[in-house]
Structure 1
Amino acid sequence: MSDSGEGQEDFDDLGTSPSRITSPEMRREVQKAVAWTAVIGATVFLVFISRSLLVIFGAMVFAAMIDGGARLLQRVIPLKRIWLVSIVLIVTAGFGYWLATYAGTQISREAAQLPEIVEQQVGVAIAWLEKQGFTVDQADVQSMAGSLVSGVGTVTRAIGGIMGGLTTILLISIIGIYIAVDPMLYERGVAWMLPRHRRSEFYETVAKMGYTMRRLMAGRLVGMVFEGVFTWIMLAAYGVPMAVLLGILTGLLAFIPNIGALIAGALMVLVGFSGGTDMGLYTIFVYFLVQTFDGYVVIPLIAKKTVDLAPALVLAAQLIMGILFGILGLFLADPLLAMIKVALEQRAKRTDEKLKNQTPETADGT
């Protein structure tokens, strides 16, 4: 026993363990360093998986579109959700099949002629600028056009990263269908990981996000159909070449606010001026008529009352997301911004409610 006591005394004489920090100041600095390391590590991890997270968000957007269609059908057809979702998917697949087969021949023929017409009209515009006294180098313009085409190809390849664009679309579709069939299953799964006192707030925020997303996508789809069909009818009535192709491009690009309308308008005007000045001026009139009616009548009636986003903020988000994630980020910038806005509004609402529920004594800290 004495030997054991002497050994313990000898061990105590050695002092504290070298891994133990006795200084409070040093301990606080180490804790700060660990916290910053964790933050940096989490940020790097999120950047690493950001493209996968964007694919998941794209699937949620696709699920919201299916869910919106199923809810509309449920008002007139009292069927189970699985059948309503199936009807929406069958109608969507049927439209895609018609677009690829029945209209595919004419569209592909017109699409082959479009680059040549655009190039010719760019040359006409350069000649007009030179007559006005501007010096335009044809080689520089061709170089810029080549860089643009190369950039578009690069962005297109970047849609799916390593997996490729088709795989990304397939993943978004499959995950979106699973979510649309039983969205409550995934909501309960996420809520289960949260503290009990946070679950009611989570369900409220998710319900608001789902409603907002459905309204946003409904407005987007109605706007796409309206712009595409109305553009096609107006251009075909005047005899503008490639009216079908321009209508389809206008409708598809309407999914991207701001930027999509500018691209569609530029293509429409270039093709219009290939048939003369009068036709070119008519295409300008059609473009402004369609965009004005869609922006001030169609969208406000459906989505703008629910999702009121500042145009400059949307454009900035599109530029950032487009640079970071390519076309996929450009398509999802607006929905992502809307969801962030809803989350911040819900948080501010709960904070205001807590402040209102506080008594004067509690607010004064007495």
Structure 2
Amino acid sequence: MGSADMARVARSTLVILLIVGLALLTVQFSFVFLLIFSAVLVATLIRAAGAPFRRVGMGDMPSVFLGLFLILAVLAACGFLFGAQLTEQFTEVAQQLPTAFEQARSLVEQVPFLNSFLTGTPDIQSIMGRAVSFAFGAVGAVTNLVLVIVAAIYLALDPDLYMRGVEKLFPKSEGERVREALSASGQALNQWLIAQFATMLIVGTLIWVGLMIVGVPSAAALGVISGLTNFIPLIGPFIGAAPGVLLALAQGSDTILWTIVVYVIAQQLEGNVLTPMIQKYAVSIPPAVLLFALAALGSLFGMIGVVVAAPLAVVLYVLVTLLWVRDTLGHDADIAEIDAPAPADSNAPEAMKAGSETQH
């Protein structure tokens, strides 16, 4: 074997070892990547809140800080207006759920073919124990939360800086395509978040009003729970409906029936009216892709993985469609098929606007 062949083999071996090493590091530091993406999510929200200030001619830095102040002001206003009521209702829900759970368990035990299922389900003490463990885990996660917020502020202040950094990880000849894909994924994430929060607000309000009319206690808290869990596609509505149905058990069979009707009507309106209207302006992910994303990230990271699974799937879906399906495999996959065109005064970063202009 000549020296040229030996050098080629050595280079190939080093490349393989580098790829394997990067794969192992990715597995070891996967939670760090999850924190990075969480910071990207928060940064997207901050820039979306600062968009109105940029439209009136303010600079990037003032608009970002004003957007952050606007988010904090809205949260503070909600806390001032509804904080005491919601705190009381959440306390009532926490106190009543164990009894409601036991009532539901005793009712299910009367159905013969469900006995085997009940033997495999944890009792309420186990559930409460896990909740306490989660609470202590949440206290320990304050450091990560602060890290995400601080990193999000830096990302929101100068997203183009980090976009250029990612672009330099690829060959120079591919820089324009990488920037275009990053711009499109950022715009898709921005539109998806706005659409999702609009849906959450409407669904939570509908369930709040519906349960209040039906007579279920703590309707406001249950509406907030449903709105928040609606951020998780597919399984979120079922998670959000469980506390309301359990609390309705103590009100009688009629209340249970009407409670289920309220949740079904709200989710049908969300699935058949709101989502089709809103998805005209946001990327639409195939349900099977979302389901596998939820399963994968949920098994790896637990609840936080389930929460970020859908937005992460949106970003990866756009990147794979543009960089792999279109540019590498050569299939027809225009950005317009997966992302609505950004308006001239979009709240996406200026670098994202420049990247999106290259696609047409």
Give the TM-score range, shorter chain.
0.7 to 0.9
CA–CA separation in structure 2 for the residues paired with 1:27 and 1:189: 31
In the alignment, what sits opposite 1:277?
253
Q: 1:319 to 1:158 in 2, by over 3 A?
A: farther
- The 5 A counterparts of 1:34-113 are 35-72=15-52, 74-75=54-55, 77-113=56-92
CA–CA separation in structure 1 for the residues paired with 2:165 and 2:9: 38
CA–CA separation in structure 1 for the residues paired with 2:104 and 2:276: 36
Q: Secondary structure at the match of 1:274?
A: helix
- The 5 A counterparts of 1:1-366 are 35-72=15-52, 74-75=54-55, 77-133=56-112, 136=115, 140=119, 143-152=122-131, 164-303=140-279, 306-347=282-323, 348-351=325-328
Counterpart contact for 2:245–2:256, Cα < 8 Å: yes
Q: 1:68 to 1:139 in 2, by over 3 A?
A: closer
C-alpha deviations, 1:73-97, integer Å up to 9, x for none? Answer: 545x343333332332122112322
CA–CA separation in structure 2 for the residues paired with 1:185 and 1:42: 24
Q: Secondary structure at the match of 2:75?
A: helix
Q: TM-score, normalised by structure 2?
A: 0.80
CA–CA separation in structure 2 for the residues paired with 1:147 and 1:40: 41
Deviation at 1:54, TM superposition (A): 1.0
Q: Secondary structure at the match of 1:103?
A: helix
Unmatched 5+ stretches in structure 2: 333-360
CA–CA separation in structure 1 for the residues paired with 2:232 and 2:125: 24
CA–CA separation in structure 2 for the residues paired with 1:192 and 1:130: 61
Task: Tell me the amino acid that sits aligned with residue 108 of structure 2.
Answer: L
Counterpart contact for 2:290–2:309, Cα < 8 Å: yes
Deviation at 1:37, TM superposition (A): 3.7
Unmatched 5+ stretches in structure 1: 1-20, 356-366
Counterpart contact for 1:67–1:85, Cα < 8 Å: yes
Counterpart contact for 1:218–1:302, Cα < 8 Å: no
Q: 1:345 to 1:139 in 2, by over 3 A?
A: closer
Relative contact order (alpha carbons < 8 A, sep ≥ 6): 1 or 2 greater?
2
Deviation at 1:293, TM superposition (A): 1.4
Deviation at 1:217, TM superposition (A): 0.4
In the alignment, what sits opposite 1:362?
none
Counterpart contact for 2:104–2:246, Cα < 8 Å: no
| Structure whose alpha-carbon radius of gyration is higher | 1
Task: Tell me the amino acid that sits aligned with residue 38 of structure 1.
Answer: L
Deviation at 1:151, TM superposition (A): 4.3
CA–CA separation in structure 2 for the residues paired with 1:155 and 1:216: 29
In the alignment, what sits opposite 2:339?
none
In the alignment, what sits opposite 1:16?
none
Counterpart contact for 2:98–2:124, Cα < 8 Å: no
Counterpart contact for 2:102–2:124, Cα < 8 Å: no
In the alignment, what sits opposite 2:336?
none
Q: Percent identity?
A: 26
Task: Tell me the amino acid that sits aligned with residue 103 of structure 2.
Answer: V
Counterpart contact for 1:215–1:303, Cα < 8 Å: no
Q: 1:108 to 1:342 in 2, by over 3 A?
A: same
Deviation at 1:134, TM superposition (A): 5.2
Counterpart contact for 2:104–2:249, Cα < 8 Å: no
C-alpha deviations, 1:246-283, integer Å up to 9, x for none? Answer: 11111111111122211111111112232222221121
CA–CA separation in structure 2 for the residues paired with 1:23 and 1:188: 38
- Alignment length (residue pairs): 331
In angstroms, what is the RMSD of aligned CA positions? 3.2
Moved more, 314-323 or 148-157: 148-157
Q: 1:34 to 1:226 in 2, by over 3 A?
A: same
Deviation at 1:320, TM superposition (A): 1.6
Deviation at 1:98, TM superposition (A): 3.6
C-alpha deviations, 1:19-67, integer Å up to 9, x for none? Answer: xx87999998877765554333222211122111111111111111222
CA–CA separation in structure 1 for the residues paired with 2:124 and 2:19: 42
Q: 1:354 to 1:92 in 2, by over 3 A?
A: closer
Task: Tell me the amino acid that sits aligned with residue 242 of structure 1.
Answer: S
Q: 1:278 to 1:38 in 2, by over 3 A?
A: same
In the alignment, what sits opposite 1:358?
none
